[in-house]
């Protein structure tokens, strides 16, 4: 099935009360919000079998829930994994993934030097105090990755499909091969690309993590996180989740699933709009530099062409405002009338973020410079509005 069809159908129309033996006489056409912390069955024998994993059935919401299971099924269908587990947020999903993988492996993490800010905080402020060692590497430098794998002997490697906010794309296939040769679990945070553009497990990743808060939910009203895993890593992840409970609630699962029905449609439109906005920015003299994945001169052109479907390059556009200092960027952000100057990304509405004061606030200036994050750089997440209206708003705000 095509992703447009999967997004609409996968996970839905499960038999109501399946496993209970009673009242199988109706099936809701879409998955309802099942608000129940516990489930009971006709016989104790059934309960016994369910607890022994001999029969499928719901028992307690920390273990699983029908609405959450439907969300997991649709994301898994799109990502093409062995299974998917849903969490309360993208960060909860990342924490569960890292924790589960490192349970029986060396407590050493090799990770991309460009990572989502909260992820860096989790690595350095949450996991390191528990004895985990983190080493950063330039994820677009294969020789450096190979050397680091040999030297550090990490239990896992963590990277993002598209880096933030400079939009670099590393060679997943090559890194996948290096990780497998080094017996290192390969985890990709796929939030910026989404399964519409890239499915990391097809390129050698063991786990793909998505923040469902972004494109999948898409409406700026829910937090969600998802881990799609291979067969080998399933037992650790499921077991750990059951034990410490970073689970998503049924209402949030429902909202995310409702968002997913239109996710491929939105994503297609957002990519189209982003290309239009990037093209306009490139010809405007007030703009010094534009970063978007359709650029023929993009440093990762060859990798992008191999990984991404033609013409679908995501909806993140970063650009530098010519000659702007911090106060000028503040003036620009404050002058936006339709675009929402708020954190997050992937929503139906266009969002604008200033890395210097938001995502990269805690990164020292020298390191920011090395990453190419200049003081005049802003990051846009393009929405589904008319591209012309987004362009008009940016143009008037540039003054």
Ligand X SMILES: *Cc1c(COP(=O)(O)O)cnc(C)c1O
Indicate which single residue of 11, 154, 220, 225 sits in contact with ligand X (rule: CB under 6 A): 225
Helix (H/G/I), strand (E/B), else coil: 73:
helix
Binding of residue 223 to ligand X (CB under 6 A)? yes
CA distance 281 to 351: 16
For residue 95, state whether it binds ligand X (rule: CB under 6 A): no
CB burial readout 10-49, b (16+ within 10 A) else e? bbbeeeebebbeeeeeeeeeebeebeeeebebeeeebbeb
Q: Does 90 bind ligand X (CB under 6 A)?
A: yes
Cα angle, residue 166 at apex, residues 168 and 334 outer, rounded to 5°:
155
Q: Is 264 a binder of ligand X (CB under 6 A)?
A: no
Contact between 246 and ligand X per CB under 6 A: no
270 binds ligand X per the rule CB under 6 A: no
By the rule CB under 6 A, 116 interacts with ligand X: yes
Q: Is 161 in the site for ligand X (CB under 6 A)?
A: no
- 11 interacts with ligand X by CB under 6 A: no
> Interacting stretch for ligand X, rule CB under 6 A, among 25-33, 88-96, 194-202, 279-287?
88-96
Residue 381 contacts ligand X per CB under 6 A: no
Q: How far is the CB of 161 from ligand X (least distance, A)?
A: 9
Q: Which is nearer to ligand X, 91 or 197 (CB)?
A: 91
Name the minimum Å distance from CB 271 to ligand X: 17
- Of the candidate spans 74-82, 83-91, 200-208, 262-270, the one that interacts with ligand X by CB under 6 A turns out to be 83-91
Give the tokens for residue 234. 């399933």
| 132 scored as a contact of ligand X (CB under 6 A) | no
127: closest CA among 149, 96, 161?
A: 96
Tell me the per-residue interface mask from 326 to 365 with ligand X, x by CB under 6 A, - otherwise. Answer: ----------------------------------------
Does residue number 214 form part of the binding site for ligand X (CB under 6 A)? yes
Q: Is 68 in the site for ligand X (CB under 6 A)?
A: no
Nearer to ligand X, 88 or 329 (CB): 88
Select 191 or 241, whichever has its Cβ closest to ligand X. Answer: 191
Q: Tell me if 195 contacts ligand X by CB under 6 A.
A: no
Element (H, E) at 388: helix 387-398
**Number of neighbours of residue 388 by Cβ within 10 angstroms:** 12
> Residues touching ligand X: how many (CB under 6 A)?
15
Rounded to a whole number of angstroms, the minimum distance from the CB of residue 343 to ligand X is 9
* For ligand X, the closer CB: 185 or 209: 209
- Residues recognised as catalytic: 62, 116, 189, 214
Q: Is the peptide bond before 179 cis (omega within 30 degrees of 0)?
A: no
The residue number with the shortest CB distance to ligand X is: 90
Q: Is 152 a binder of ligand X (CB under 6 A)?
A: no
For the chain, list the strands marked E by DSSP.
83-87, 108-112, 133-137, 156-160, 185-189, 207-211, 225-229, 287-291, 316-321, 351-353, 377-381
Angle between the N-to-C axes of helices 387-398 and 263-282, in degrees from 0 to 180, rounded to the nearest 10: 40
* Smallest separation (angstroms) from ligand X to the CB of 209: 7
* Residue in 65, 191, 318, 381 binding ligand X, rule: CB under 6 A: 191
- Ramachandran bin of 355, using left for φ above 0, alpha for ψ from -120 to 50, beta for the remaining angles: alpha
Helix axes 250-261, 263-282, angle to 10 degrees: 60
Which has the closest alpha carbon to 278: 296, 265, 292, 268? 292
Please, are residues 90 and 225 in contact by the beta-carbon 8 Å criterion? yes
Q: Counting contacts by CB under 6 A, is residue 189 touching ligand X?
A: yes
For the bound state, the minimum distance from the C-beta of residue 89 to ligand X, rounded and expressed in Å, comes to: 3
160: closest CA among 125, 130, 127, 194? 194
Residue indicated by tokens 């969002």: 351
CB 251 within 8 A of CB 117: no
> Which residues of this chain interact with ligand X, rule CB under 6 A?
89-91, 116, 118-119, 160, 189, 191-192, 211, 213-214, 223, 225
């Amino acid at each position: 099935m095509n992703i447009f069809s999967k997004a609409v159908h996968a996970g839905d129309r499960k038999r109501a009360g399946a496993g209970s033996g009673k009242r199988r006489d109706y099936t809701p056409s879409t998955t309802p919000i099942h608000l129940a912390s516990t489930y009971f069955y006709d016989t104790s024998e059934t309960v016994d079998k369910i607890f022994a994993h001999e029969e499928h059935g719901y028992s307690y919401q920390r273990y699983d829930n029908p609405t959450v299971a439907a969300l997991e099924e649709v994301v898994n269908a799109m990502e093409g994994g062995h299974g998917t587990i849903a969490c309360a947020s993208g960060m909860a999903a990342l924490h569960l993934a890292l924790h589960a993988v490192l349970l029986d492996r060396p407590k050493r993490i090799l990770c991309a030097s460009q990572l989502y800010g909260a992820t860096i905080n989790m690595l350095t402020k949450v996991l390191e105090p528990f004895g985990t060692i983190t080493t950063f590497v330039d994820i677009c430098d294969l020789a450096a990755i190979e050397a680091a794998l040999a030297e550090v002997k990490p239990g896992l490697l963590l990277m993002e499909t598209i880096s933030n906010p400079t939009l670099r794309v590393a060679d997943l296939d090559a890194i996948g091969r290096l990780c497998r040769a080094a017996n290192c679990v390969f985890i990709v945070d796929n939030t910026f690309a989404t399964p519409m553009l890239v499915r990391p497990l097809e390129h050698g990743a063991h786990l793909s993590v998505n923040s469902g808060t972004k494109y999948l939910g898409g409406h700026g009203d829910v937090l969600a996180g998802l881990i799609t895993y291979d067969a080998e890593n399933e037992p650790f992840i499921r077991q750990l989740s059951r034990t410490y409970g970073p689970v998503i609630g049924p209402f949030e699962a429902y909202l995310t699933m409702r968002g997913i029905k239109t996710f491929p449609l939105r994503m297609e439109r957002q990519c189209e709009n982003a290309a239009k906005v990037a093209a306009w920015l490139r010809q405007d003299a007030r703009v010094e530099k534009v970063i978007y994945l359709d650029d023929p001169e993009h440093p990762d052109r060859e990798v992008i062409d191999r990984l991404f479907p033609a013409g679908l390059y995501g909806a993140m556009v970063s650009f530098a405002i010519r000659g702007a200092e911090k106060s000028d960027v503040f003036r620009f952000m404050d002058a936006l009338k339709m675009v929402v100057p708020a954190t997050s990304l992937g929503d139906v509405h266009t969002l604008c973020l200033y890395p210097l004061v938001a995502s990269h606030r805690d990164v020292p200036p020298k390191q920011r410079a090395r990453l190419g994050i200049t003081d005049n750089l802003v990051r846009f997440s393009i929405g589904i509005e008319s591209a012309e209206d987004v362009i008009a708003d940016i143009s008037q705000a540039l003054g």
